[in-house]
């Protein structure tokens, strides 16, 4: 069938006899395919494709084949196999956009003491070393998370120290400060 579609797409450019020879099909086979009416299955697949495209747009491309088949089955009242939906989506280059799952990186339910808010949102400093702040960021790597701690002096907003480690510990911030 793909060979016949190729011949059909290039009908105006090349003679059908040459294209049939290149595609290794008979000329009469091509013409028989060309005259053939679409089967009931082809008609049903075209209707299903229309529904898939409509639902794909409505759901902002978030439904996969299983969910799509379940929704179409529910809407039409007729069962639709998810493998058929998957094949039609694949043939028509319809892909699902997957959301990245949220991964909690901080545990706030601990019983450890929490430091007071000494700065109280006063982030200006008149001389170096008066006020310093630190933060830790997470960097995903092939081997797991890498933690980067940085210390900034608020006087000139300059980084005064950094440290990296495989574990997020208070020692990481101390190393960045030293």
3-state secondary structure the chain: CHHHHHHHHCCCCCCHHHHHHHCCCCHHHHHHHHHCCCCHHHHHHHHHHHHHHHHHHHCCCCCCHHHHHHHHHHHHCCCCCHHHHHHHHHHCCCCCCCCCCCCCCCCCCCCCCCCCCCCCCCCCCCCCCCCEEEEEEEEEECCEEEEEEEEEECCCCEEEEEEEECCCCHHHHHHHHC
Q: Looking at the structure, do residues 18 and 82 belong to the same domain, yes or no?
A: yes
Mean pLDDT estimate for the chain:
90
Q: Looking at the structure, do residues 123 and 70 belong to the same domain, yes or no?
A: no
Q: Looking at the structure, do residues 10 and 54 belong to the same domain, yes or no?
A: yes
Task: Please give the pLDDT value at position 88.
Answer: 95
Mean pLDDT, residues 29-54: 92
Does 46 have pLDDT greater than 70? yes
CA torsion sign for 44, 50, 53, 59 is negative
Mean pLDDT, residues 147-154: 93
In the chain, the N- to C-terminal Cα span, in Å, equals 71
Integer CA distances (angstroms), 125 to 26, 112, 121, 135, in order: 85, 29, 12, 18
- Within-domain flag for 34: yes
Q: Looking at the structure, do residues 64 and 32 belong to the same domain, yes or no?
A: yes
Q: Looking at the structure, do residues 136 and 156 belong to the same domain, yes or no?
A: yes
Q: Looking at the structure, do residues 31 and 79 belong to the same domain, yes or no?
A: yes
Task: Give the residue from 60, 91, 122 where a domain finishes.
Answer: 91
The CA radius of gyration of the chain, in Å to the nearest whole number, is 31
- Within-domain flag for 96: no
Q: Looking at the structure, do residues 105 and 167 belong to the same domain, yes or no?
A: yes
Confidence label for 1 from pLDDT (cuts 50, 70 and 90) = low
pLDDT in tens, 69-123: 999 999 999 999 999 999 999 999 999 988 888 877 778 888 888 888 888 888 8
Residue 177 lies in domain = 101-178
Q: Looking at the structure, do residues 87 and 105 belong to the same domain, yes or no?
A: no
Global pTM reads 0.49
Q: Looking at the structure, do residues 72 and 7 belong to the same domain, yes or no?
A: yes
Task: Give the residue from 91, 109, 124 where a domain finishes.
Answer: 91
Q: What is the count of structural domains for the chain?
A: 2
Mean pLDDT, residues 35-41: 90
Task: Give the residue from 29, 59, 91 where a domain finishes.
Answer: 91
Q: Looking at the structure, do residues 71 and 118 belong to the same domain, yes or no?
A: no
Q: Looking at the structure, do residues 72 and 116 belong to the same domain, yes or no?
A: no
- Within-domain flag for 106: yes
Does 146 have pLDDT greater than 90? yes
Contact 105, 84 (CB under 8 A): no
Task: Please give the pLDDT value at position 106.
Answer: 76
């Amino acid at each position: 069938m793909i060979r016949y579609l190729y011949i059909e797409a290039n009908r105006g450019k090349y003679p059908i006899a040459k294209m049939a020879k290149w595609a290794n099909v008979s000329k009469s086979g091509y013409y028989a395919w060309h005259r053939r009416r679409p089967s009931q299955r082809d008609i049903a697949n075209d209707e299903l494709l229309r529904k898939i495209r409509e639902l794909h747009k409505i759901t902002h491309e978030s439904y996969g084949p299983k969910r799509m088949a379940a929704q179409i089955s529910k809407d039409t009242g007729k069962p639709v196999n998810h493998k058929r939906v998957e094949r039609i989506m694949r043939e028509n280059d319809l892909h699902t956009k997957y959301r990245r799952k949220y991964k909690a990186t901080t545990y706030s339910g601990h019983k450890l003491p929490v430091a007071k808010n000494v700065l109280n949102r006063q982030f200006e400093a008149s001389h170096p070393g008066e006020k310093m702040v630190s933060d830790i960021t997470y960097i995903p790597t092939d081997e797991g998370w890498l933690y980067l701690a940085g210390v900034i002096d608020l006087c000139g907003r300059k980084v005064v120290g950094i440290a990296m480690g495989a574990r997020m510990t208070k020692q990481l911030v101390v190393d960045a400060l030293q």
